[in-house]
Amino acid sequence: MDLTGLVSYIISVFSVLAGVAIFFGEDEYIVPASGRSLRLPCSFLFWFLALIFWAMAVKVEDDDSII
């Protein structure tokens, strides 16, 4: 594994932790105009980013194993 794969795994873990912190946190993140909470969309955004970075890291590992 090279530096790119390691960084992708680290960013993926931090994204999962950020999503969990937002989802289970105390703040509501209310949009003033509509009164709706952004807690769920923001946490899913971070989880989706974690999935993307994890896939990037796996792809880097697959490319390394071919050589």
Span 7-59, pLDDT tens digits: 889 999 999 999 999 899 887 777 778 888 888 888 999 999 999 999 988 87
> Which pLDDT score is estimated for 19?
92
For 38, the domain range is: 3-66
What is the DSSP secondary structure assignment for residue 32, as one 8-state letter? Answer: T
Q: How many CB atoms lie within 10 A of CB 65?
A: 7
Number of domains in the chain: 1
Q: For residue 14, what are its two tokens?
A: 């931090």
Distance CA 56, CA 67 (A): 18
Q: How much is the pTM?
A: 0.76
